[in-house]
């Protein structure tokens, strides 16, 4: 099964809502960090990739039709070549609002993590943010650089930049599917993320 949709947006840009939206539109199952956290096999495979193992994308995405969020979003450059027919979605919000959400959620988790091989530290902290996720200006620069790189690399007819709050219409138009009657999902806001972390 080849990926049909590739998400290129950072975590905290509405990726969990997008995951649920893609599932509802029949372009799932959609791979997300939730799937990694729920599976020891997924953890082992993605950790190995983050440590430099050669990627076997078809195995990593076996059973999935789409992917959003980290860890896969970090590899969008490779994935758009491996799956040339896949549509690309850049989930997006302003850099300042992204930082506020990131600081209260993912960054808070990184600060308390003690496992250097975790994807949070080995991939997000060290590779996405060059070891400096606490540096606000640097983290925002990394966020903006990713947005610019996606826009400069992915052909316009293949790319949707989906702003938080835009809902179904642009997404369904991009994918060529009908707009559902159900409301667009609203998942994993800051409070929900913090509660999930507390439960762990």
**Average pLDDT score over residue span 6-29:** 97
pLDDT digits (tens, 9 = 90+) for 142-181: 999 999 999 999 999 999 999 999 999 999 999 999 999 9
Q: 139 near 96, Cβ under 8 Å?
A: no
The pLDDT of residue 191 is 53
Residue 197 pLDDT grade (very low, low, confident, very high; cuts 50, 70, 90): very low
Please state, in angstroms and rounded to a whole number, the distance separating the CA atoms of residues 151 and 98.
18
The pLDDT of residue 188 is 60
Question: Looking at residue 72, which CATH number applies to its domain?
Answer: 3.40.50.300
Scanning the structure block, which residue is given the tokens 């998942």? 187
pTM: predicted TM-score of the whole model, two decimal places: 0.92
Domain that holds residue 96: 5-199
The pLDDT of residue 187 is 74
The gap between the terminal CA atoms of the chain, to the nearest Å, is 32
Q: Which two tokens stand for residue 143?
A: 């966020």
Handedness of CA 79, 80, 82, 87 (dihedral sign): positive
Please state, in angstroms and rounded to a whole number, the distance separating the CA atoms of residues 79 and 24.
23
pLDDT digits (tens, 9 = 90+) for 23-63: 999 999 999 999 999 999 999 999 999 999 999 999 999 99
- Arithmetic mean of pLDDT over the chain: 94
Res. 196: pLDDT tops 60? no
Please state, in angstroms and rounded to a whole number, the distance separating the CA atoms of residues 66 and 68.
7
- Which parts of the chain fold into alpha helices (H)? 15-24, 33-37, 40-50, 57-60, 76-82, 95-104, 106-112, 119, 136-153, 168-175, 190-199
What is the CB neighbour count within 10 angstroms for residue 103? 17
Domain count for the chain, please give it. Answer: 1
pLDDT digits (tens, 9 = 90+) for 113-142: 999 999 999 999 999 999 999 999 999 999
Please state, in angstroms and rounded to a whole number, the distance separating the CA atoms of residues 98 and 180.
28
Nearest-10 crossing angle of helices 15-24, 168-175: 60
CA 197 vs CA 1, 37, 64, 66, 185: distances in Å: 32, 12, 25, 25, 21
The pLDDT of residue 195 is 54
């Amino acid at each position: 099964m080849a990926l049909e949709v590739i998400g290129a947006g950072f975590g905290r840009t509405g990726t969990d809502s997008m995951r649920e939206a893609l599932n509802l539109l029949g372009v799932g199952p959609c791979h997300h960090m939730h799937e990694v956290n729920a599976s020891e096999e997924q953890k082992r495979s993605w950790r190995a990739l983050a440590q430099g193992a050669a990627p076997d994308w078809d195995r990593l995405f076996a059973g999935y039709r789409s992917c959003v969020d980290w860890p896969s979003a970090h590899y969008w450059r490779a994935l758009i070549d491996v799956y040339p027919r896949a549509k690309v979605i850049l989930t997006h919000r302003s850099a300042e609002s992204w930082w506020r959400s990131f600081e209260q959620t993912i960054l808070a988790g990184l600060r308390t993590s003690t496992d250097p091989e975790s994807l949070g530290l080995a991939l997000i902290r060290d590779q996405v943010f060059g070891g400096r996720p606490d540096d606000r200006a640097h983290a925002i620069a990394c966020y903006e650089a990713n947005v610019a790189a996606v826009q400069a690399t992915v052909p316009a007819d293949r790319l949707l930049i989906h702003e938080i709050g835009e809902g179904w219409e642009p997404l369904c138009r991009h994918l060529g599917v009908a707009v559902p009657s159900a409301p667009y999902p609203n998942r994993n806001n800051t409070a929900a993320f913090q509660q999930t972390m507390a439960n762990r």
